[in-house]
Amino acid sequence: MGNKFKHNWELTRELAVNDFKLKYNNSILGYFWSLLRPLALFGILYLVFSVFMRLGGGVENYQFYLLIGIILWMFFYEMTILSMQSIVSKANLVKKIYVPKIIILFATSLTSLMTFLLNLAVFFIFMVIFGLKFQFSLWLLPIYLLELYLFSFGLSLILSTLFVWFRDLAHIWEILLQILFYATPIIYPLSVVPLRFQKLAFLNPVAQIIQDIRQIFIGNQVVSPYFWLAPATTVVLLIFGLIIFSKKSKYFAEEV
């Protein structure tokens, strides 16, 4: 049992590292392309909404508010997109009986996690450079990050399973992500949303997790009245995802 676990972990680690390297293969800037993407989006949105529209004027440290929101969103976006397609894109491994299918998905999620942690490290550097104070509540950060990862992983289990049979899901999910991006308070502060609609915004677990993490870094954020919803949704989604993935994974090799 121990040898099997060790073998599976080594395989997962090798797949994750190889995927991370392949993302930047033959690239001059390498990992910095992953950093430039959220930074470019941050620069454009900050210029439009803070300078021209002055939407962020009522938010203290709006630049950090916006940047951490984009970094968290990009992690959720990338992990669900890549994980959804991971089973189909690694058909050669899926057809090998000795490879547990969930390892492929787990390795892909770890690749996204590595990029995210590097981007988060850059955010911490910005905090130091621009003098944003570290708060005592920072110890809660790993808990919220784990919550975001598990929520994304549970969703990825469902998406990757469905994608094996329904390839149009890639286009549908891209559209849904665009809608979700603007429905989540990433660009705008939740305080500008009418009070009666703020509760609706918090029905989105991603919005709640992002707000919780912003509270750690910046403080003075609108707190969700449904503090239990994101953890509960994460657990349910993860269990449901594991069930559907395990039931359908034995048919993957026939479909990919």
Greater confidence (145 vs 138) lies with 145
Q: Is the dihedral of CA 66, 53, 181, 46 positive or negative?
A: negative
Average pLDDT over residues 90-119: 86
Q: Which residue segment(s) compose the domain that 214 sits in?
A: 2-255
Average pLDDT over residues 120-142: 85
Binned at pLDDT 50, 70 and 90, residue 27 comes out as low
Q: Which of 180, 56, 176, 31 is closest to 117 using CA atoms?
A: 31
* Residues 6 or more apart whose Cβ sits within 8 Å of residue 104: 15, 86, 87, 90, 93, 94
- The count of structural domains within the chain is 1
Rounded Cα distance between 241 and 149, Å, is 14
Q: Average pLDDT of the chain?
A: 84
For the stretch 43-93, pLDDT in tens is 777 666 555 455 555 667 888 888 899 999 999 999 999 999 999 988 888
For the stretch 208-241, pLDDT in tens is 999 999 988 887 777 777 788 899 999 999 999 9
